[in-house]
Amino acid sequence: MQVILRALATGLFISYLPGLIIPFKKNTGAGFLGTLWGIPLVYIMPTDFLLYAILMLAFWAFAVWVCKKVQLDSTKGHDNPKIVIDEIAGYITSMLFLPRTWPYFLAAFVLFRTFDTLKPWLVKTFDRMENAFGVVFDDVAAGLMANIIIQIFIILVVRG
Protein backbone atom coordinates (compact mmCIF):
# COMPACT_ATOMS: atom_id res chain seq x y z
CA MET A 1 0.00 0.00 0.00
CA GLN A 2 2.87 2.40 0.81
CA VAL A 3 4.27 1.98 -2.72
CA ILE A 4 0.90 2.92 -4.25
CA LEU A 5 0.61 5.95 -1.98
CA ARG A 6 4.16 7.01 -2.83
CA ALA A 7 3.42 6.62 -6.55
CA LEU A 8 0.34 8.83 -6.21
CA ALA A 9 2.15 11.42 -4.08
CA THR A 10 5.10 11.68 -6.47
CA GLY A 11 3.16 11.79 -9.75
CA LEU A 12 3.99 8.18 -10.58
CA PHE A 13 7.56 8.86 -9.40
CA ILE A 14 8.08 11.71 -11.90
CA SER A 15 9.37 13.90 -9.07
CA TYR A 16 12.45 11.67 -8.78
CA LEU A 17 13.63 12.41 -12.34
CA PRO A 18 15.19 15.86 -11.80
CA GLY A 19 17.25 14.62 -8.86
CA LEU A 20 18.62 11.82 -10.99
CA ILE A 21 19.65 14.25 -13.72
CA ILE A 22 20.96 17.14 -11.55
CA PRO A 23 21.48 15.75 -8.03
CA PHE A 24 23.17 18.84 -6.55
CA LYS A 25 20.51 21.42 -7.49
CA LYS A 26 18.35 22.81 -4.63
CA ASN A 27 15.23 23.56 -6.71
CA THR A 28 14.80 20.28 -8.50
CA GLY A 29 11.99 21.15 -10.90
CA ALA A 30 9.84 18.40 -9.44
CA GLY A 31 7.00 20.88 -8.90
CA PHE A 32 7.18 21.88 -12.56
CA LEU A 33 6.96 18.25 -13.64
CA GLY A 34 4.19 17.55 -11.14
CA THR A 35 2.21 20.47 -12.51
CA LEU A 36 2.53 18.98 -15.99
CA TRP A 37 0.52 15.99 -14.73
CA GLY A 38 -2.35 18.40 -14.14
CA ILE A 39 -2.73 19.14 -17.85
CA PRO A 40 -3.89 15.69 -19.00
CA LEU A 41 -6.01 15.32 -15.86
CA VAL A 42 -7.83 18.59 -16.57
CA TYR A 43 -8.18 17.58 -20.21
CA ILE A 44 -10.00 14.34 -19.32
CA MET A 45 -12.12 15.85 -16.53
CA PRO A 46 -15.79 16.53 -17.32
CA THR A 47 -16.64 19.81 -19.02
CA ASP A 48 -19.74 20.22 -16.85
CA PHE A 49 -18.80 22.98 -14.40
CA LEU A 50 -20.57 21.49 -11.39
CA LEU A 51 -19.14 18.01 -11.92
CA TYR A 52 -15.66 19.49 -12.45
CA ALA A 53 -15.97 21.44 -9.18
CA ILE A 54 -17.12 18.34 -7.29
CA LEU A 55 -14.24 16.25 -8.65
CA MET A 56 -11.80 19.05 -7.86
CA LEU A 57 -12.99 19.18 -4.23
CA ALA A 58 -12.73 15.40 -4.01
CA PHE A 59 -9.19 15.57 -5.41
CA TRP A 60 -8.26 18.16 -2.76
CA ALA A 61 -9.45 15.80 -0.01
CA PHE A 62 -7.71 12.84 -1.65
CA ALA A 63 -4.45 14.82 -1.98
CA VAL A 64 -4.55 15.80 1.71
CA TRP A 65 -5.18 12.16 2.65
CA VAL A 66 -2.30 10.93 0.46
CA CYS A 67 0.08 13.57 1.87
CA LYS A 68 -0.90 12.59 5.38
CA LYS A 69 -0.26 8.89 4.70
CA VAL A 70 2.94 8.98 2.65
CA GLN A 71 6.28 9.01 4.41
CA LEU A 72 9.19 10.42 2.46
CA ASP A 73 12.58 11.71 3.62
CA SER A 74 11.72 13.77 6.71
CA THR A 75 14.87 15.90 6.38
CA LYS A 76 13.13 17.87 3.62
CA GLY A 77 10.60 19.41 6.04
CA HIS A 78 6.83 19.11 6.04
CA ASP A 79 6.47 19.95 2.32
CA ASN A 80 8.81 17.49 0.69
CA PRO A 81 9.57 18.55 -2.90
CA LYS A 82 9.17 14.95 -4.05
CA ILE A 83 5.46 15.15 -3.20
CA VAL A 84 3.77 16.67 -6.25
CA ILE A 85 0.13 15.65 -5.82
CA ASP A 86 -0.34 19.10 -4.29
CA GLU A 87 0.89 20.74 -7.51
CA ILE A 88 -1.61 18.65 -9.45
CA ALA A 89 -4.40 19.81 -7.11
CA GLY A 90 -3.27 23.42 -7.54
CA TYR A 91 -3.24 23.22 -11.33
CA ILE A 92 -6.66 21.57 -11.44
CA THR A 93 -7.86 24.49 -9.32
CA SER A 94 -6.28 27.05 -11.64
CA MET A 95 -8.35 25.66 -14.55
CA LEU A 96 -11.72 25.81 -12.76
CA PHE A 97 -14.44 27.21 -15.08
CA LEU A 98 -11.91 27.99 -17.82
CA PRO A 99 -12.11 26.98 -21.49
CA ARG A 100 -10.05 23.92 -22.39
CA THR A 101 -7.89 25.59 -24.98
CA TRP A 102 -4.11 25.75 -25.10
CA PRO A 103 -3.83 29.48 -24.34
CA TYR A 104 -5.76 28.92 -21.09
CA PHE A 105 -3.85 25.74 -20.24
CA LEU A 106 -0.60 27.70 -20.69
CA ALA A 107 -1.76 30.84 -18.85
CA ALA A 108 -3.00 28.77 -15.91
CA PHE A 109 0.29 26.83 -15.87
CA VAL A 110 2.49 29.95 -15.90
CA LEU A 111 0.43 31.86 -13.34
CA PHE A 112 0.07 28.86 -11.04
CA ARG A 113 3.80 28.13 -11.11
CA THR A 114 4.53 31.83 -10.51
CA PHE A 115 2.26 32.08 -7.47
CA ASP A 116 3.44 28.72 -6.15
CA THR A 117 7.07 29.81 -6.43
CA LEU A 118 6.74 33.39 -5.17
CA LYS A 119 4.30 32.45 -2.39
CA PRO A 120 2.35 35.70 -1.99
CA TRP A 121 0.44 36.34 1.27
CA LEU A 122 -2.39 33.79 0.98
CA VAL A 123 -0.13 31.05 -0.36
CA LYS A 124 2.48 31.69 2.34
CA THR A 125 -0.22 31.49 5.03
CA PHE A 126 -1.01 27.91 4.05
CA ASP A 127 2.66 27.09 3.40
CA ARG A 128 3.45 27.87 7.05
CA MET A 129 1.03 25.17 8.23
CA GLU A 130 3.15 22.15 9.00
CA ASN A 131 0.63 19.48 8.12
CA ALA A 132 -0.84 17.74 5.08
CA PHE A 133 -3.59 20.35 4.77
CA GLY A 134 -0.98 23.11 4.47
CA VAL A 135 1.06 21.09 1.95
CA VAL A 136 -1.94 20.84 -0.38
CA PHE A 137 -3.68 24.14 0.27
CA ASP A 138 -0.73 26.42 -0.41
CA ASP A 139 -0.95 25.05 -3.96
CA VAL A 140 -4.74 25.29 -4.00
CA ALA A 141 -4.41 28.95 -2.96
CA ALA A 142 -1.88 29.53 -5.77
CA GLY A 143 -4.31 27.86 -8.19
CA LEU A 144 -7.19 30.03 -6.98
CA MET A 145 -5.10 33.17 -7.42
CA ALA A 146 -4.12 32.13 -10.95
CA ASN A 147 -7.75 31.36 -11.77
CA ILE A 148 -8.99 34.72 -10.47
CA ILE A 149 -6.40 36.59 -12.56
CA ILE A 150 -7.46 34.70 -15.69
CA GLN A 151 -11.16 35.23 -14.93
CA ILE A 152 -10.53 38.98 -14.58
CA PHE A 153 -8.66 38.92 -17.90
CA ILE A 154 -11.61 37.17 -19.56
CA ILE A 155 -14.08 39.70 -18.19
CA LEU A 156 -12.02 42.80 -19.02
CA VAL A 157 -10.32 41.82 -22.28
CA VAL A 158 -11.96 38.84 -23.92
CA ARG A 159 -15.57 39.83 -23.27
CA GLY A 160 -14.61 43.51 -23.15
Q: Whose CA is closest to 28, among 81, 73, 68?
A: 81
C-alpha span between 140 and 101 (Å, rounded): 21
What pTM does this model have? 0.87
pLDDT band at 54; cut points 50, 70, 90: very high
pLDDT in tens, 19-50: 555 555 555 677 888 898 999 999 999 999 99
